[in-house]
């Protein structure tokens, strides 16, 4: 791998950094306090291309690699973790519709890329969280259309999104994916969940009561839904890992500045060796997480056979490290880190959920362990040796 940035990568990352600093960062605390969903800002993000980063260019997206995309999400997350996390979900929805949808869905993909419409992803169910294959939301064919019945839980953007990608089980016990209009008849939303973090995006349950969907709104063929969902999760794990790293990097930057400016016992905190060691460990762990993330993204781009395992490794390691770095940065701020005048407590709250969503970190360990115990893993190690 080439660890340097080419001119195009540097330009995209700089554009994301400027957007984060000038638009996201100044508003993040207010969005968090008031639980405001910044739809207008998301529209601006769409105009800049941030809502269709890896969506194919023939659908209006930028068509970036997954490696370039995670670099962009990291830069955006330094401005607002919660809003960037929603952007990553929207990107996944946009990519799925553009990549697997037919001609009838082309205009929807274009609207999602531009930010004129927003998307949500309905996979998790009340009794089928980590075990996505056990979902029971049903898809029944009636008069050539599909009727969806069931419920989804913890759906980010629900109630605000214009289009939903819904994973459901059809009459042949196959799992398929459908694109559903956010205000379709028979579709209803639960209350907005009161959450520890991620306050700038709503999270609700979604209920489907005989919601009629045209067959032309099915993604791919019948039975393709589980494969699409797993592909989406590989990328989603990289995206949320990038959000953790970006947030933690900003936390480290603030902690470094604080240690240089804050004096105790007659000298700056930065002069105390114990705190120097803490900063060094934080920077080292972040660098390791970033490199693992970039390797996993590269493997996904190259369609390497062990890409899914590396996506799980990167998600597990980066989200654990990201939370730990935010926790350590808050500790370095002392009492100031615990009050809302400073952003450290928000970083702490916003990164905690990253260890749960897109597959819990316990499930990531299961995925990695299966890979390590496989014949393919042993063969690859011998080849590399």
Active centre residues (catalytic): 358
- Bridge-based pairing of strands 163-170 and 119-122 is parallel
Number of Cβ within a 10 Å radius of residue 249: 22
Number of Cβ within a 10 Å radius of residue 41: 19
Q: What distance in Å separates the CA atoms of residue 168 and residue 166, rounded to the nearest whole number?
A: 6
Number of Cβ within a 10 Å radius of residue 194: 8
Pseudo-torsion of CA 39, 40, 45, 46, nearest 10°?
Answer: 80
DSSP assignments along 149-205, one per residue = EEEEEEEETTTT-SEEEEEEEETTS-EEEEEEETT-TTEEE-PPP--SS-TTS-EEE
Tokens representing 190 are 């639960």
Name 119's bridge partners.
Answer: 163
| 303 close to 248: Cβ distance less than 8 angstroms | no
Q: What is the DSSP letter of 131?
A: -
CA atoms within 13 A on the CB side of 166: 36
Distance of CA 51 to CAs 106, 173, 232, Å? Answer: 16, 33, 15
| 91 close to 157: Cβ distance less than 8 angstroms | no
Q: What is the length of the chain?
A: 385
Q: What distance in Å separates the CA atoms of residue 177 and residue 179, rounded to the nearest whole number?
A: 7
Closest CA to 79 of 44, 111, 109: 44
CA 65-70-74 angle, to 5 degrees, is: 150
């Amino acid at each position: 791998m080439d660890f340097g940035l080419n001119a195009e990568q540097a330009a995209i990352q700089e554009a994301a950094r400027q957007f984060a600093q000038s638009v996201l960062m100044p508003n993040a605390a207010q969005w968090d306090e008031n639980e405001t969903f910044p739809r207008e800002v998301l529209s601006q993000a769409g105009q800049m291309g941030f809502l269709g980063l890896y969506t194919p260019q023939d659908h209006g997206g930028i068509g970036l690699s997954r490696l370039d995309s995670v670099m962009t999400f990291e830069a955006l997350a330094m401005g607002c973790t919660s809003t960037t996390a929603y952007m990553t979900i929207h990107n996944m929805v946009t990519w799925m519709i553009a990549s697997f949808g037919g001609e009838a869905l082309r205009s929807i993909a274009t609207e999602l890329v531009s930010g004129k419409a927003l998307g949500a992803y309905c996979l998790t169910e009340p009794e089928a969280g980590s075990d996505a294959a056990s979902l029971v939301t049903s898809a029944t064919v009636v008069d050539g259309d599909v009727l969806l019945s069931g419920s989804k839980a913890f759906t980010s953007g629900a109630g605000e999104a214009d289009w939903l990608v819904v994973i459901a089980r059809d009459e042949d016990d196959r799992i398929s994916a459908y694109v559903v209009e956010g205000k379709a008849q028979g579709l209803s939303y639960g209350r907005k969940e009161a959450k520890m973090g991620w306050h700038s995006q709503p999270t609700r349950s979604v209920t489907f009561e005989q919601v009629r969907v045209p067959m032309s709104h099915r993604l791919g063929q019948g039975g393709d839904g589980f494969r699409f969902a797993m592909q989406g999760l590989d990328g989603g794990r990289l995206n949320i890992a990038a959000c953790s790293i970006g947030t933690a990097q900003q936390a480290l930057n603030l902690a470094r500045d604080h240690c240089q400016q804050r004096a105790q016992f007659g000298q700056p905190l930065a002069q105390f060796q114990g705190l120097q060691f803490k900063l060094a460990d934080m920077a080292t762990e972040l660098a390791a997480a970033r490199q693992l993330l970039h390797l996993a993204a590269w493997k996904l781009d190259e369609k390497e056979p062990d890409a899914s395992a590396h996506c799980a490794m990167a998600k597990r390691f980066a989200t654990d490290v990201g939370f730990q770095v935010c926790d350590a940065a808050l500790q370095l701020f002392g009492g100031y880190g615990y009050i809302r005048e400073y952003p450290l407590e928000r970083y702490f709250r916003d990164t905690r959920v990253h260890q749960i969503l897109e597959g819990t970190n316990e499930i990531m360990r299961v995925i990695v362990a299966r890979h390590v115990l496989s014949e393919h893993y042993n063969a690859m190690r011998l080849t590399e040796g």
